[in-house]
């Protein structure tokens, strides 16, 4: 009996070793950051600073800081405004783009960097000439937050490759006020910590103030994990009602058809992604900030990656895929700018500017304003004609009622006269 105890301990030790080995085999190796492809957070922001200094006529950069309960955050905000005006005449479309809200999604900040290069220097994407797009850019003011969650990104660079939270372990995309704090049955406190209160985190406070001061017409929160084009809502399985929902869906479906050949998932985040998310930025932008077109773009995901292999799941790991994803989504943003500008003006959410003709990316010259003017004039004429018809109808009714009243009045007078005459000659 005593001799069998060491044997049992040895057997138990062997079983545990095999279990650990099996678990390691199931989870698979964790892919490290491809540092030969990806910038570090510091080098990416430095490169943007140099780009801004080189194109100070088009770009400017602000650094915004905030703190709360001993925790501080710093955000860089880059503004692209190619045609500066002393007075905003209301014709320019304001676009606010946020990248890197989750620290582990490095690819999103790389798209931000490349997009800024395209807006200022590199006028081609994969051989496509973008010079004809200048006319569209003149009608836009674009603010880019290249790395919203700098503190969280630092944690990832230090080895926490699966961490999406900020430096205080709060999910910034659960820290906004719309339906804040609600927890689903599959709630993961590690992944979805909403913080102690709405806007408890400095990063969310900065973004909220930026949305208030800039008043964007288009908002895009850029993430990775899959490929999708989402509109509100995230916290319920539905989209908004009315004209605004139609406008958002129209823009996304046109983008999906023109650029992605209808391959992207389009719809509400809550209805499409498979789970509900509460306290998200995009829902706040729609419900509270009243942004006409708030979107969430998911730009990449490796479905075959192990759940523990987060860098590979959320980011391309080879240079070919890296370049393809960046080029594809930079082009998607340019088409979004074009579609958004056209739809916002058609809906008269922004005033008409000097955009009579331009060449859509990959298309021929379209005289959009001429078409819109002719449609508007035709509608005005139709409305005027309908109004005249109604006036003629009312006039006929008025004349008929006047005739009937006069007839009744004359009949009454005639009867009274006859009655009066009868009274005179009666005995």
Catalytic residue, candidates 105, 192, 298, 339: 298
The encoded tokens of residue 130 equal 């973008």
Task: Give the C-alpha separation, 92 to 230, whole Å.
Answer: 24
Which residue from 195, 166, 197, 186 is spatially nearest to 75, judged by alpha carbons? 166
Q: What is each CA distance from 231 to 328, 341, 398, in whole angstroms?
A: 20, 17, 52
Gyration radius (Cα) of the chain, Å: 32
Cβ(213)–Cβ(94) under 8 Å? no
Task: Give the C-alpha separation, 14 to 162, whole Å.
Answer: 31
Catalytic-residue membership of 85: no
- The C-alpha angle with vertex 252 and arms to 248 and 258, in degrees rounded to 5, equals 145
* Residue 344 burial (C-beta neighbours within 10 Å; 0-12, 13-18, 19+): buried
Torsion sign across C-alpha atoms 339, 340, 345, 351: negative
* Residue 30 burial (C-beta neighbours within 10 Å; 0-12, 13-18, 19+): middle
Q: Which residues are catalytic?
A: 298
């Amino acid at each position: 009996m005593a001799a069998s105890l060491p044997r049992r301990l040895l057997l138990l030790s062997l079983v545990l070793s095999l279990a650990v080995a099996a678990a390691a085999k199931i989870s698979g190796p964790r892919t490290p950051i491809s540092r030969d492809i990806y910038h570090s957070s510091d080098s990416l922001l430095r490169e943007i600073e140099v780009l801004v200094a080189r194109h100070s006529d088009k770009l400017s950069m602000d650094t915004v800081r905030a703190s709360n309960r001993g925790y501080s955050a710093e955000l860089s905000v880059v503004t692209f405004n190619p045609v500066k005006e002393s007075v905003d005449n209301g014709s320019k479309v304001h676009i606010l783009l946020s990248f890197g809200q989750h620290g582990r999604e490095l690819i999103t900040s790389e798209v931000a960097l490349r997009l800024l290069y395209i807006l200022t220097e590199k006028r081609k994407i994969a051989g496509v000439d973008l010079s004809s797009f200048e006319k569209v850019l003149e009608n836009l003011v674009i603010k880019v937050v290249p790395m919203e969650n700098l503190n969280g990104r630092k944690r990832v660079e230090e080895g926490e490759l699966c961490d999406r939270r900020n430096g205080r372990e709060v999910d910034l995309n659960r820290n906004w006020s719309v339906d804040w704090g609600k927890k689903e049955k599959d709630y993961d406190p590690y992944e979805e910590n909403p913080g102690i209160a709405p806007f408890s985190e400095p990063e969310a406070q900065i973004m909220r103030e930026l949305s208030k001061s800039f008043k964007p017409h288009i908002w895009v929160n850029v993430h990775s994990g899959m490929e999708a084009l989402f509109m509100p809502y995230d916290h319920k399985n539905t989209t908004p009602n009315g004209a605004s929902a139609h406008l958002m869906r129209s823009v996304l479906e046109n983008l999906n058809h023109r650029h992605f050949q209808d391959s992207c998932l389009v719809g509400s985040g809550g209805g499409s992604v498979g789970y509900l998310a509460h306290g998200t930025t995009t829902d706040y932008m729609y419900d509270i900030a009243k942004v006409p077109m708030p979107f969430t773009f998911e730009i990449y995901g490796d479905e075959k990656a192990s759940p523990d292999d987060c860098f590979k799941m959320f980011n391309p790991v080879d240079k070919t895929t890296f370049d393809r994803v960046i080029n594809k989504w930079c082009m998607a943003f340019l088409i979004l700018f074009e579609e958004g500008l056209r739809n916002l003006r058609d809906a008269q959410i922004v005033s008409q500017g000097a955009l009579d003709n331009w060449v859509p990316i990959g298309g021929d010259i379209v005289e959009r304003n001429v078409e819109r003017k002719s449609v508007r004039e035709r509608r005005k004429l139709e409305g005027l004609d309908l109004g005249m018809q109604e006036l003629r109808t009312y006039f006929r009714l008025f004349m008929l009622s006047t005739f009937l009243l006069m007839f009744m009045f004359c009949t009454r007078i005639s009867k009274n006269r006859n009655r009066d005459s009868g009274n005179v000659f009666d005995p």
